[in-house]
Amino acid sequence: MKDRCMSISRIYAVFLRQVFLIRSNPTRLVSMFLWIIMDVILWGFITKYLGSLGRDTLSFVNIMLGAIILWGFTTRIEHGVMTTFLEDTWSRNLINYFASPLQIDEYICGLVVTSIAMGICGLLLMLLIAGLCFGYNIFAIGFYLLPFLLVLFIFGIAIGIFVSALIFRLGPAAEWIGWPIPMVLSVFSGVFYPVSNLPKFLRVVSRVLPASYVFESMRAILMNRLFPGRLVIYLCIGLALSCAYLLVTYFFFVRVYRYNLKHGTIARFNIE
Q: Is residue 87 a contact partner of residue 21, using CB atoms and an 8 Å limit?
A: yes
* Alpha-carbon span 124 to 37, nearest angstrom: 11
pLDDT band per the 50, 70, 90 thresholds, residue 268: low
By CB neighbour count within 10 A (0-12 exposed, 13-18 middle, 19+ buried), where does 173 fall? Answer: exposed
Could you tell me how many residues make up the chain?
272
Residue 34 binned pLDDT confidence (cut-offs 50, 70, 90): confident
Q: Name the H helices within the chain.
A: 8-24, 28-52, 57-90, 94-98, 104-134, 145-170, 181-189, 200-207, 210-222, 228-263
- How far apart (Å, rounded) are the C-alpha atoms in residues 211 and 83? 22
DSSP structural state of residue 178: T
Share of the chain above pLDDT 70, in %: 90
Q: Is 0.85 surpassed by the pTM of this model?
A: yes
Q: Which residue has the higher pLDDT, 189 or 177?
A: 189
| Domain map (residue ranges) of the chain | 8-270
89 — pLDDT class (breaks 50, 70, 90): confident
Q: Which tens digits make up the pLDDT trace of 146-172? A: 899 999 999 999 999 999 999 888 877
